Chain A
């Protein structure tokens, strides 16, 4: 038996204070990943701070036309929210592409963003893993890695971030709000998750004791359309082999605003800035979209068994952008 403390926090301040006072403490949201990892022995926090009763379960309209999504909003509720479905369809689609109905009913917005890699070695405590036990090595690099990273990986880690939600938020220029012992700060979603480098144990830039309290969405770009598409091993309830979140605005056949992010390819949701550079101001044609995807994926360094992901990501991006550019033919 591994005893651990349990605290049901009644305020953000109390939660943060408790975390600061107990190194290794973890915030408990829906528990759909953390509790699994505790069962696997990957996580053994001395204290669980239950944050599900904090007043963070609302979706609020912001004065600028954006939305503030409390960290405790459940994935199902967020996907079903009218404001989200109408103004940010890519976000609703991404959520509904994740997990199963039962898990989405439990999983929270904050927990979804903070879920950990499903790399098989990370989850097996009888094997080395730099992310789980820094310095022990990365057997995935030469082992079973079909599902792992093709972009931004390092000699120390080839894990992928599995969240679908994060990919949509990256494309939407969302920000996360963090509340820590030293007060509040805001970080762009695209800067929130890290690349593994030589510190793969650190998934995000979150600091010890910081609580993710909300996600802020900027106003939806007028005239832009958005879509999420995910490829997976079965029709539902599987992590992405690769996914694409795209926001596209086309005026008179020319790309205006464009935002593109890939999932399942890297240690973080991969905002495709190089692709966007190609897209901006270019004719909204399949050829442009292919050039844009290629520009981004030129940086890919696939492992022995996952080169298919590069082609998959390219195809998904071209297909989604083409669909968004031609509403009538969109499918």
Chain B
């Protein structure tokens, strides 16, 4: 046996241990400072002005009333704002022209001595528009739909294998169903905020971001600076769920306002405006067709989605992508169609593609199980592929079956009467459901520096971001294990673009990407230390590493994490209220590096999936063109009472084809599969297949009645 390429270090082994977050004390005592909590001397405050029309052009901006208010420094508009270089991301091309692509697009920015004055000034700005007809409603047959070439993540929009139509027509058992997911919103607890200031031609910003390196690069490009003249600090970040994965308007506007006024400027986006400017999960209409033999083995699989994007840029939620690798499917067709509407620009929200796509696919698999009268766990076992269907590559590891079996055992899945509508407690109908989960393994180049100090401590520097996940702590564990020193002796510096550049916290690849670079730097440092005689020099010893080469290598293996989610729900036949009773997930995601923070990631994702199933969703208001539910009073997310029992478990999965830690990402897989498990449990409870999320009383109640009357 070859030696472990990544020794655990001396006991107590740091890797996998449930260490508490390093910054936990600062966070709970309020001393951890977030982006809007930095106030440089002379700081001014900004408040944005959002367009109140859904489409058109600005014909005039009257800022006189705003500028007349005492304490107002400036009102930036497209007429006077600093010119920006052409942005790679056109959503950052702010105050550059008179176009209004959607309601809520920023058309001006007021800057003042105080937050209150800035807000009053923003309200006093008079903007006139020439409005144009707008269209914000996605329909499956929208005439503007076209086949997307590339879906998010760089995936081809369309893939075909074999002869789907022929095999589907010939299949003895078929499912043909359409599922609808409404627009969903990230709504992190901390709104998007920035504090920016310029000094001697250098720009420094504190930004609530998932990746300061990316923000630094984009700001440098927009303001035509070298990246060495821009520092972005994202020390503590109160969640992002993808919406802070790319730079957002607040950081560009704050930097513009600071340049324009010559003062530091702080801008925190109002909660009610976030839905329009920080991305959202685009709605999807998803048609899934399954053809199977009488044995339940799939012979034909089609997943075709329709979704929207904005007129600002194309973003295509890759919801049909997981169907390409999930199950045996010799004849397969996966298509993404998209229509640009006058809507805010969609973007990443926790598990883009997988979260909505696996809701539809795993619901359809459940429908097939019902048709065949086969247990849904068993049906999935029968469709386990030997290699990744889309590429024919071997899986580096695939323990879906293990997750399903372990989950079934822990949940008490069997014995299970498959008949719906027979488990009653008074007015309540009870049911159980299962769904599979998956998420790809990504890795991106990162760099890190490790230093051994003369006093026996170590310092590791890497521009990772801790968005509440525990990244700081996990990286210390990785460094300590690589250095074979106690974790307390390792200092970690993250969250600053002056540190060695690294991947953003997204795509469930943060820990793998940063950890790989940290590991490499620490191993190099260890080698230096081995060859060093005598006391360390005053400046210590330093090693740097980057993983450009490792990350660029294409793995010969198909690499994905897998999981299985089990849910029990109750449906109230009187009120139509559907509530969770318990939720259990089992995941196979390589080596788990910190069992405490990992559990939080899993149950957090599962809870978000529960929200998607039962209550989350917004509506685009056809008359006004905006999302009607734009605050946390109207956009419901689960509260504690909605989650009476939740468990996350994992298999000890060893996969030597990943990275030195042997880890897969865990930030997103929890949300994947959960909505389907809940919807499948609802079907088991009631016999009603409701293919339109969320499962809210307004939809459930009429269906319950129809079923009672024998028409459903």
Contacts and interface: CB of A to CB of B under 8 A. Distances in A.
Contacts of A232: 577
B65 to A, nearest CB: 14
Interface stretch (A19-27, A108-116, A174-182, A308-316): A308-316
Interface in A266-325: 305-306, 308, 311-312, 315-316, 318-319
Given A1-B69, A233-B615, A312-B697, 19 more contacts: A126-B52, A127-B624, A139-B623, A143-B622, A144-B621, A231-B575, A231-B576, A231-B697, A234-B636, A235-B579, A235-B641, A235-B642, A236-B641, A236-B642, A308-B698, A308-B701, A311-B702, A316-B574, A319-B574
A237 interface: yes
A8 interface: no
A308 B426 contact: no
Contact of B574 (A41, A235, A305, A315): A315
A234 to B, nearest CB: 5
A126 B120 CA distance: 15
B120 A234 contact: no
Contact of A1 (B117, B614, B629, B638): B117
Interface in B560-581: 572, 574-577, 579
Nearest to A118: B633
Interface in A125-155: 126-127, 139, 142-144, 146
Given A2-B120, A120-B628, A241-B697, A308 B642 contact: no
Query: For the complex, would chain A's binding face be called helix, strand, loop or mixed by DSSP majority?
Result: loop
A316 B697 CA distance: 13
Contacts of B639: 100, 234-237
B619 interface: yes
B634 interface: yes
A40 to B, nearest CB: 8
Contact of A234 (B50, B114, B619, B638): B638
Interface residues of B, number: 42
Nearest to B696: A233
Given A127-B624, A308-B576, A312-B576, A234 B697 contact: no
Interface in B539-583: 572, 574-577, 579
B629 A120 contact: yes
A224 interface: no
A270 to B, nearest CB: 17
B217 interface: no
8 contacts: A2-B116, A126-B50, A142-B623, A233-B697, A234-B615, A234-B642, A236-B642, A312-B697
Interface in A221-277: 231-238, 241
A299 to B, nearest CB: 20
B123 interface: yes
Given A2-B120, A235-B579, A319-B574, A143 B623 contact: yes
Contacts of B636: 233-234, 238
B295 interface: no
Interface of A: 1-2, 41, 100, 118, 120, 126-127, 139, 142-144, 146, 231-238, 241, 305-306, 308, 311-312, 315-316, 318-319, 331
A312 B622 CA distance: 27
A235 B579 CA distance: 7
Interface string B629-647: 1000110101111100000
B30 to A, nearest CB: 17
Contacts of B629: 120
A236 B643 CA distance: 11
Which among A126, A231, A234, A305 has the highest number of chain B CB atoms within 10 Å?
A: A234
Nearest to B270: A39
Contacts of A305: 698
Contact of A315 (B50, B575, B642): B575
B574 A308 contact: no
B427 interface: yes
Contacts of B52: 126
A293 B426 CA distance: 21
A306 B698 CA distance: 7
A139 B614 contact: no
B705 interface: yes
B696 to A, nearest CB: 6
A38 to B, nearest CB: 12
Nearest to B628: A144
Contact of B123 (A41, A127, A308): A41
Q: Which 3 A-B pairs have the closest CB atoms?
A: A235-B641, A1-B116, A236-B641
A130 B628 CA distance: 18
A231 to B, nearest CB: 4
Contacts of B577: 231-232
A315 B71 CA distance: 57
Contacts of A331: 426-427
Nearest to A238: B636
A42 to B, nearest CB: 12
